[in-house]
């Protein structure tokens, strides 16, 4: 978890955040210990983090491509998330004079709060939030009396003071002066869009698994059928497909080209289609698989 800072008031709204994303691979208990150390602020550089991760037997992947802040029809959104066995997300929605904070577990809202007026919100690990809090405690009480552009600059400078392997150098800042009249409706739609996205992602994973299973069934050795009426009729242990995908078309008999005779037995030898007992190869325009 890195850092997201949000402000809302009568003068507008601001959201800012970094782009760091860290993926952990390894023993769950060791990973938990490593994360505690990481989020304490005691690890100061990416290189030190990777070295300590190796000592814990944990493989870590660091990237700075995660878009944690965005704007949706005049409403600012900031999100931190943890994706593992379950997907946990925490979102702030901000517009002029409005704020909502929503916790989402997979597709279910587990906690929701909303406020009107003005306020400052921090998402992140304790170490980074403490840095930002100390940087903003002098100016934050006066944010509601400042131009929103000045608030944005102060928040930007505070985030830039954050250091360590849980935060990227690049940060993104957005601001708005719009007062959104359909604040609640937009949040509802955004949550529904997330559900649709996750449903689509689940279907993609199902399709990928199906495709991989099909690819594993491609026959490379053994008898597959015989010639009847000029076609290759596959035996009960085989079928043919037109392409490797999650829902291919299936065939029990297919067109065949080459030198063969009625009744010839066709087999596959290391992926090559041949006529049994003859020194001749044949070919088909379909893929022969185990049934």
Q: Judge if 125 and 269 occupy the same domain.
A: no
pLDDT computed for residue 1 by the predictor: 62
How confident is the model over 214-239, as pLDDT tens digits? Answer: 888 999 999 999 999 999 999 999 99
Beta-carbon count within 10 A of 22 CB: 18
How confident is the model over 236-291, as pLDDT tens digits? Answer: 999 999 988 888 899 999 999 998 989 999 999 988 999 998 878 899 999 999 98
- The verdict on residue 196 lying in a domain is no
Range of the domain at 69: 3-20+64-184
Domain boundary among 184, 212, 237: 184
Angle, CA of 106, 124 and 27, to the nearest 5°: 65
| CATH code, domain carrying 171 | 3.60.20.10
pLDDT computed for residue 245 by the predictor: 83
Q: Judge if 113 and 256 occupy the same domain.
A: no
Round to whole Å and give the CA distance between 223 and 219.
10
Q: Judge if 101 and 170 occupy the same domain.
A: yes
Q: Is the pTM of this model over 0.75?
A: no
Write out the two tokens for 212.
């991989």
């Amino acid at each position: 978890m890195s850092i997201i800072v949000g402000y809302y008031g009568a003068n507008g709204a601001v959201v800012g955040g970094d782009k760091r994303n860290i993926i952990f691979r390894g023993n769950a208990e060791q990973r938990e210990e490593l994360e505690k150390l990481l989020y304490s602020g005691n690890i100061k550089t990416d290189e030190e983090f990777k070295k300590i991760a190796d000592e814990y037997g944990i493989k870590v992947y660091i990237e700075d491509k995660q878009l944690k802040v965005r704007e949706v029809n005049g409403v600012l959104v900031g999100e931190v998330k943890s994706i593992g066995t379950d997907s946990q997300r925490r979102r702030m929605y901000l517009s002029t004079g409005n704020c909502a904070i929503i916790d989402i577990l997979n597709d279910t809202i587990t906690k929701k709060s909303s406020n009107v007026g003005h306020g400052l919100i921090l998402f992140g690990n304790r170490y980074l939030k403490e840095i930002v809090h100390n940087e903003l405690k002098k100016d934050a009480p006066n944010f509601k009396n400042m131009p929103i552009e000045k608030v944005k600059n102060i928040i930007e400078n505070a985030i830039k003071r954050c250091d360590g392997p849980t935060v990227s150098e690049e940060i993104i800042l957005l601001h708005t002066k719009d007062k959104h009249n359909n604040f609640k409706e937009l949040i509802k739609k955004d949550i529904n869009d997330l559900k649709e996205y996750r449903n689509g992602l689940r279907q993609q994973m199902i399709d990928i698994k199906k495709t991989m299973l099909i690819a594993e069934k491609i026959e490379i050795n053994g008898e597959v059928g015989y010639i009847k009426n000029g076609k290759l009729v596959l035996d009960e242990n085989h079928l043919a497909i037109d392409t490797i995908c999650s829902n291919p078309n299936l065939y029990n008999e297919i067109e065949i080209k080459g030198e063969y005779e009625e009744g010839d037995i066709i087999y596959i030898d290391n992926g090559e289609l041949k006529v049994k007992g003859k020194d001749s190869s044949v070919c088909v325009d379909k893929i022969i698989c185990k049934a």
